[in-house]
Amino acid sequence: MCIGDNMLIEYLNFAYQSVTHRKTRSFLTIIGIFIGIAAVVSLMSIGAGLQDAVNEQFEQMGSNKIMIMPGGEGGVGMMSAFTSSIILDDDDLKLIKKVRGVGETAEMIMKTAPVKFRKQTKHKLIIGMPPGSAGEMFKDMSGFDIEQGRELRDDDKYKVAIGIDVSEIMFDREVDVGDRLNIQGYDFDVVGVYGRIGNAQDDSQLYITMDIARDIFEEEDEISMIMLEVRDGFVPNDVAQDIKEELRDKRDENEGEESFTVQTSEQLLSSVNDLMGIVQIVVIGIAAISIVVGGIGIMNTMYTTVMERTRDIGVMKAIGARNNDILLIFLVESGMMGLLGGAIGCGIGIGLAKGVEVIAAGSGFAMLKASVTWELILFALGFSFLIGAISGTLPAKQASDMKPVDALRYE
């Protein structure tokens, strides 16, 4: 062992030789580390990719949009619009239109109904599209573009536009423009197919005109959801608060006990991101247990290594190695094992994340793309090195405190 100016290189070389000399032991030692890092990298990549996709959807929607849905604040997004037993109606819509700052409004009916094609029947979400500019606003907010055929017209009778998954994968045979679907017992001609949005919900919905939806579902004034634009010069949060107050007065409800939900697009985005963040923290916390177990494994291995090299430690001290030199040698070795586990874990984690992305794309969730950044990789490598170094601290301290005479006498 040479003690000189290039001490760090010597430490690294010594650690490298020690780790590679005992390949099997080193590999078994770092299993916990690389499993934990792989889980953290893959989950954080998928979570970041999903968050990017959600943010992109809301950017497309615009920050001046407000959604009013039946059900209290416990409902999340569009799910509450067709799972709640409480409804909105035309009187609610008329009241909302009178609120200062409310611009274009788009009301919709959303019902799950049987959809039959040839001999197959599936239960899918049917959306009654609002007419005119309101319908255009809804399509712009949702990112719908016709890929085949044409858009629905306000005067269409028993015509349907379908999501691309309805066309391609819902039935045994592809549904094309001109085919006929039976919805809720009524025959509809397919006039258009929307391009892929990127999530299975939107891509498997069917769209008919509002008037026909009211007829086949026998709903004269029920509304499942209202979307609206806020006029220029008005603050969406203020307009949303005014809408809440008006609806509370109409329904004679107290604040916090509303039978409806009013959310701006920014509030909805914040709620979704908060929920995703909590889920990601919990899952990563579980994965961190594996990293801690891996750190304990490194500590155990380093104690064994110190015992095996007791005479070597005595020799190094006898030729002039200081306590700090011995301490750093074993800290670098334990850190290198952590770093090696982190590097393997990063490779596996990236592979898992990309595999989930491919599976998601094949399952209709094309919007989900794993987001792997250099910052994430460097964090994972640095964290794994730190865990390794910390795990080796006690064994390294034990080695550095040895007295040369006692170490040379050790058998």
DSSP secondary structure, 47-89, as one string: HHHHHHHHHHHHHHH-TTEEEEEES-TT--TTHHHHH-S--EE
Residue 65 within a domain: no
Convert the pLDDT of each residue in 298-314 to its tens digit: 888 888 877 777 777 77
Q: Is the pLDDT of residue 77 over 50?
A: no
pLDDT surpasses 70 at 60 = no
| Three-point CA angle 244, 268, 124, nearest 5° | 100
Determine the pLDDT at residue 198: 72
**Is 364 within 8 Å of 165 (Cβ atoms)?**
yes
Let me know if residue 266 belongs to a domain.
no
Task: Using the predicted structure, report yes or no on whether residue 270 has a pLDDT greater than 70.
Answer: yes
Q: What is the pLDDT of residue 185?
A: 92
Question: What is d(CA 232, CA 147) in angstroms, rounded to the nearest whole number?
Answer: 32
Lowest mean pLDDT among 32-41, 164-173, 360-369: 360-369
3-state class (DSSP) for residue 33: helix
196-239 pLDDT tens trace = 877 778 888 999 998 999 999 988 888 888 888 889 888 888 99
- 232, 258, 284: which is the final residue of a domain? 258
Q: Global pTM?
A: 0.64
Report the SS3 class of residue 194. strand
Q: For residue 76, what pLDDT is reported?
A: 46
Residues 98 and 205 in one domain: yes
Asked whether residue 254 falls in the same domain as residue 313, the answer is no
Handedness of CA 53, 54, 56, 60 (dihedral sign): positive
CB neighbours of 303 closer than 8 A, spacing ≥ 6? Answer: 394, 395, 398
175 and 283 within one domain: no
Q: Tokens at residue 117, please?
A: 């094609």
Closest C-alpha among 223, 225, 200 to residue 213: 223
Are 229 and 309 contained in the same domain?
no
For residues 321 and 216, state if they share a domain.
Answer: no
Q: Are residues 51 and 102 in the same domain?
A: no
Tell me: do 253 and 367 sit in the same domain.
no
Q: How confident is the model at residue 405 (pLDDT cuts 50, 70, 90)?
A: low
